[in-house]
Amino acid sequence: MEIPFLKKEKPITKLEIKPEEISMEDIIAPPSVETKQNYLKLGERFCKSFFVFSYPRYLSTGWLSPAINLNYPLDLSLHIHPVDSSKVLKQLRKKLTEIEAEIMERGEKGLIRDPALETAHQDIERLREDLQTARERVFRFGLYITIYGDSQKELRRIETTLRSIFESRLVYVKPTLFREREGFISCIPYGLDRILVHNPMNTAPLSSIFPFVSPDLSANEGVLYGLNQHNNSLVLFDRFTLENANSCVFGKAGSGKSYALKLEVLRSLMQDVSIIVIDPENEYEFLSDAVGGSFFSISLTSPNHVNPFDLPPPREDERPSDVLRSSVINLVGLLRIMLGGLSPKEDAIIDRALTETYAAKDITPESDPSKWKEKIPLMSDLETVLSGMEGTESLVQRLGRFTRGSYAGFFNQPSNISMDNKFVVFGIRDMEEELRPMAMFVILRYIWNIVRATMKKRILLVDEAWWIMQTEDGASFLFGICKRARKYWLGVSTITQDVNDFMKSEYGQPIITNSSLQLLMKQSPATIDVVQKAFNLTNEEKYLLLETAVGEGIFIAGTKRVALKMVASYAEDQIITTAPEEVLKARKAKKAKKGLEE
């Protein structure tokens, strides 16, 4: 007897599908399609369609670009149907007659003019003339958009953004309620118009809807920055025409930052702009020699000195007391860096001691500012004042290495340099690494005093700005210069390859915000997310910065941004190159020339 549940079952064979039985539709089709009244669900993704039903009287070129450049996936479909001009002319003639009759009727009744009627009359007359002379044609135009999201909440967020973009231009959209399937089909590349919501539009406004508009940064004057990779046009721009002339340059080592900046320096000098550079690697020395600039090597043993106590002469609109007070505040910040931090009590003591140090040299708000330059104190004068005050033993001891110790060669000397040259470079490569933030602070303060004293068009380049950004007081001082530079006709360029260190400072983002010009070059994967967040980059721009070649990047000027490629002539390249083999060749040629002269 056979027991059913113990009966041996035959094995189930696996269903085999032959490759030739799989169609392209099976591969690309979503696993499921769910139709709702206000959205479609394609597998796990949601989508929603819209149509434009109202336009303003005038449309500006490229008005659709902000929607296309949204950092969200969307499908956009333009349906353009030509209309017979003779039929349009008949309709316009009828409409014109109605408007003229209404205008005459209002005139007979003694009513005031209606501007809307007169504007409509003028527009129709102009359009009739253009149609009759074949300068214009009329079309029925439908614009449909489908957005995608992972949830209904994300769809609503994207819809809000899309509506705000369109409504700011007086363009209004509606969702395809109960017709989501037709809206979706109208947006995919079938060329089918299932919505049939059209607006009459003549050639001129229709041409403004062309979505592929390249940004353009060509001006009648300024500096040539390179080629616009969107359309091969020249990026010719004057940074001083923006709300401020500050710029930020970010890029990994070897991306071409120095090359791009040297090009800007060389071409700005031809525009009669004075250039000041803080150069941590002495990269600008060869360029300085080539253009007859002044290069000051700053180190503990250098003959070039900058006195931290220097004061600018007060301007006509400044009071001597304000200048003196500002100098004391900046010096307190410098001494915090030099002395490894100050307690609240030490901070107050240093503040009072600095005021007394200036007063001991007869530099007070009541004294003659024209004679201040002859009496500027040194760091050792501050030490003398501190020695005569109570509770300053620790301060005097810590200050000793800057007045009598190994650091006195730089910090305790009167200034002996001149900035009369149009191109001035401060090279701090030979300064000890732990002293670089202090040296950059002292040099920046000296430069700021010169800038405030005389008004002229200048650019200040702070290379490897993350050095001074390491301390709060240094970062605060650099931010203060960036914020006030515009009033003194100064453009500050902050350059760095260490984006993470720069952005760790609370002043990193404000410095970027106060820079109307930005140049982003090749980034490393480790820092690209920080850069994307800081500069609000799209995913396409993010991947561009990861893959871009040397000497290429994204150039941002105000609200415009282009993909830029730096270009230089042969003569410029020989002067500004930073390639080690080219630099070595130039140095050998310079030595050979010097030997022949001797």
316-333 pLDDT tens trace: 778 888 889 988 998 998
* Model confidence pLDDT, tens digit, residues 9-24: 445 444 455 556 667 7
* 275 contacts: CB under 8 Å, gap ≥ 6: 265, 268, 269, 293, 422, 423, 424, 458, 459, 461
pLDDT of residue 34: 86
Residue 215 has a pLDDT of 65
Best CATH choice for the domain 319-414 from the list 3.40.50.10780, 1.10.510.10, 1.10.8.730, 1.10.10.10: 1.10.8.730
Look up residue 487 and give its DSSP letter: G
Residues 36-52, mean pLDDT to the nearest whole number: 89
SS3 273: coil
Of the ranges 23-27, 235-239, 376-380, 501-505, the best mean pLDDT one? 376-380
Whole-angstrom distance, CA of residue 490 vs CA of residue 508: 19
pLDDT at 274: 93
Confidence of residue 527 (pLDDT cuts 50, 70, 90): confident
CB under 8 Å to 260, separation ≥6 — which residues? Answer: 225, 226, 249, 519, 521, 551, 553, 566
Q: Domain locations in the chain?
A: 30-83+137-207, 98-136, 226-306+417-597, 319-414
- Span 30-83+137-207: which CATH code? 3.30.70
> What is the reported pTM?
0.66
Residue-wise pLDDT for 440-486, tens only, equals 889 999 999 888 888 889 999 998 888 888 888 888 888 999 998 98
Between CA 514 and CA 248 the distance in angstroms is 9
Fold of 226-306+417-597: Rossmann fold (3.40.50)
Q: Write out the two tokens for 425.
A: 């470079």
> Which H or E run includes 562?
strand 560-565
CA distance linking residue 375 with residue 595, whole number of Å: 44
If pLDDT is split at 50, 70 and 90, which confidence band does 2 have?
very low
pLDDT at position 6: 39
